[in-house]
Each structure stands twice: as C-alpha cells, then as structure tokens.
Structure 1
Amino acid sequence: MQNDDDSSLFQAAVRGARPIGHDRADTGKPRLDIRRITEQRTNATSATNETKVDGLSDQFVIDVGAEDPLHWVRDGVQESQIRKLKAGQVAFEGSLDLHGLTVEKAREQLWAFIAEACRYEIRCVRITHGKAARIDGRRPLIKSHVNTWLRQHPQVLGFASCLPKHGGTGAVYVMLKRTMLEGRDE
C-alpha cells in the first residue's frame, strides 16, 4: 500500500522536528517600531505655545477642512488684484511643496522661501500644503498652519486656493509685497 509508505516516509523525514513557536513568516522586512512612529507623530502634531523668532506663531491655529478653499487679503489690497489671484491670472514664479514635513520644518521652509522670493522681487508664489487625510480624522495639520502663518507674515498681501490644475484646495497662490526695483515698470 502506497499510503502507508508515504506516511512512514513522512514520519521518518520529520522525526526530531519541533513545532514553530509563532505563526508569522519572516519576510525579511524590518518590523515597524510602533512606539517610535507614535512618538514621531506626536512630536509632529504637538503645538508649541511660543512665538518663534520668525514671527510665525502657533498660539492660535485656524482649523480648516481638507476641501475648504482658503482666501485672505490684507487691508488696502486692490480687489481687482485679488480677483486675478483667485482666477489664477497672476503667474506664480516660484513653488514650495510642504508635503510630508513636520510643522516645525514646514514653518522653517515657508519662512525661508518667502524671504528668498521677496529678495528677488517675486510677486506671486504657490505653496503646496496638501490636504492630508489624517488617520485620526482631525483637520489637515500643515494646511491649517499655512493658513495661519500666511496671515501673520508681513510680506504677504493675500492668498487664495489654487485652480485644480495647480493643486486646487491643496495649494495656495500667495501675493507678496514688492519694493520696486530700478528699471521695473508695473
């Protein structure tokens, strides 16, 4: 009988083998350190209640939704300029992407980017903040902070959510102050 031979061959082959103590396969990938990831997320989302030297404060962050369009204008800015900005008719000459950054890193990069744009007398830039569908169901973190910071920045005249082809509600056009350089007419 062949079945008895197969069975005895199998028994001989596994003699001395011990059962495995766990039911997980080793895929070769390193295991996720859940504690470290949780700590990084907490550090990235915890607000520091102090005003930074750069002037961008987190003491009061305006919470906005993922699909909420952003719009703000400083007093004294011509409505026609803001209409053009909202319609995407003011060409942006620089772009900054803040996806995946911590709040502090995003703040640093935003401040440095606007400072450089102002140094080159750039009128309009695009800031991509993303919409960040968060696991915990809370509002988008970077988008909310960018909305708050841009209102505080002394060089920002106004901002509006981009057209869909430029990022939609995941990005904003930002109009900046300029001191007229010699030989430039506008």
Structure 2
Amino acid sequence: MQDDDFSLFKNEMRGIKPIKHDRAETGKPKTDQAQIAKLRQAATIRSETTTVDGLSDQFVIDVGPEDELMWARDGVQDSQMRKLKLAQIPFEGSLDLHGMTVEKARETLWAFLAEATKLEVRCVRVTHGKAVRLDGKRPMIKSHVNTWLRQHPQVLGFASCQAKHGGTGALYVMLKRTMMEGRDE
C-alpha cells in the first residue's frame, strides 16, 4: 500500500521542479540589526524625569519571550479569567507598545488605561511584543507591562492573547467599571 502511495505521488510530481531557495520573498526590506540594537539600547536608558503615576519599576518581574502571562486581582472569579483567556470578553480598544522606550511605553499605557476607564471599557488589548533580544536578556517592555498592570488600580486581571490576537506578544486586560447599568453578572 505504501509503495502504491509513493508511486502515485511520484507520478503526480512528474515535471515539477523543486524550489531552489527556502525563503519567501515578502517584499519587506531586511531589518537593520545594528539599528535595532541601538534602539533597544536607547530604550533601556532611563530619563531623569519620572511621572509619578503609581507604576513602580523597582521590582520588575522578568518574563521570557514565549511565557504565557495570566494574573487576577483578589476577588476576580476564575470563570471570568477563563473567559478572558479564551477571548470570550471582547476587547474594545487596542494599544501597541512596539518600539517604544520603557518610559514612553509607561506613559502611553497609563494614558490609554485612563481613557479606557473614563469610557467604561471592560476589556482592552495591549500588544507589548516579545522582543527576543540580541544580548540574550529578557524582553523589556513585556516584563515591565506585566509588572505595571499588576499595580494599576483599574486592572482586574490580564491574560496572554489567543494566537489570532498576538499570542504571547499581547495581553487581554480586564478593567474595573464603575457604572451600575450593563454590568456582567
């Protein structure tokens, strides 16, 4: 039977030429690794003016590029966290922190969460990237976002996204809502 399958396959492939190279042409220019290294180095340099927003960098939780993240504030039901992880709570806003310095990412995230809270948004997506670094260290923005979200008073919990929404390079973030109408049971 196997010989039969092989023969059939061989017959179907007659006249087909093998691909000589194994890389797809995406049309994108090659990445400038020196420029990326320079930008990443610049992202690690702290500016002297730190906004007092309650987000501390004193104890940053180091995470790996492929680590799945999940955290919930005390009192958040497991069923809600399961729904969040499975993308059953739709996100109503999205923020991409790629390429930002740590300080810029912090300011942008704080402003984004403030706006989402003001608009009574239940869930947002924050894309932090995986940033597999050339120097072998852990991803900066991902590690900081993981730490900051745990400290933010409006964050109830977060979980790594489904692959279609960014996988371990993004988070679904569940926020507190203050209005009484329209609350989930």
| TM bracket (short chain) | 0.7 to 0.9
Distance 2:147 2:160 in 1: 14
Give the secondary-structure state (helix, strand or coil) at the position aligned to 1:63.
coil
The question of whether the paired residues in 2 share the 8 Å contact of 1:50 and 1:58 is answered with no
How many aligned residue pairs are there?
151
The question of whether the paired residues in 2 share the 8 Å contact of 1:96 and 1:113 is answered with yes
Describe how 1:110-129 pairs up with structure 2 within 5 A. 110-129=109-128
Distance 1:185 1:57 in 2: 31
Shift in Å, 1:121? 0.2
Over the aligned positions, Cα root-mean-square deviation in angstroms equals 2.3
Describe how 1:153-172 pairs up with structure 2 within 5 A. 153-172=152-171
Distance 2:137 2:40 in 1: 13
Q: TM-score, normalised by structure 2?
A: 0.75
Change in CA separation of 1:170 and 1:41 when aligned onto 2, cut-off 3 Å: closer
Deviating above 3 A after TM superposition, structure 1's stretches of 4 or more consecutive aligned residues are: 40-43, 46-52, 183-186
Task: State the partner residue of 2:81.
Answer: 82
Give the secondary-structure state (helix, strand or coil) at the position aligned to 2:146.
helix
Task: State the partner residue of 2:147.
Answer: 148
Change in CA separation of 1:157 and 1:50 when aligned onto 2, cut-off 3 Å: farther
Deviations 1:126-185 (A, max 9, x none): 00000001111111010000000000000000000000000000000000000015x535
Task: State the partner residue of 2:132.
Answer: 133
Distance 2:59 2:141 in 1: 14
Give the secondary-structure state (helix, strand or coil) at the position aligned to 1:67.
coil
User: Does residue 108 in structure 1 map to residue 104 in structure 2?
Assistant: no
Task: State the partner residue of 2:44.
Answer: 45
Give the secondary-structure state (helix, strand or coil) at the position aligned to 2:129.
coil
Letter in 1 for 2:83: K
Q: TM-score, normalised by structure 1?
A: 0.74
Deviations 1:38-71 (A, max 9, x none): 5x64442145799741111111100000000001
> Taking every aligned residue pair, what percent have the same amino acid on both sides?
71
Instruction: Flag structure 1 segments of 5+ consecutive residues without an equivalent.
Output: 1-31
Structure whose CA Rg is larger:
1
Task: State the partner residue of 2:97.
Answer: 98
The question of whether the paired residues in 2 share the 8 Å contact of 1:50 and 1:57 is answered with no
Letter in 1 for 2:118: R
The question of whether the paired residues in 1 share the 8 Å contact of 2:46 and 2:103 is answered with no
Instruction: Flag structure 2 segments of 5+ consecutive residues without an equivalent.
Output: 1-31
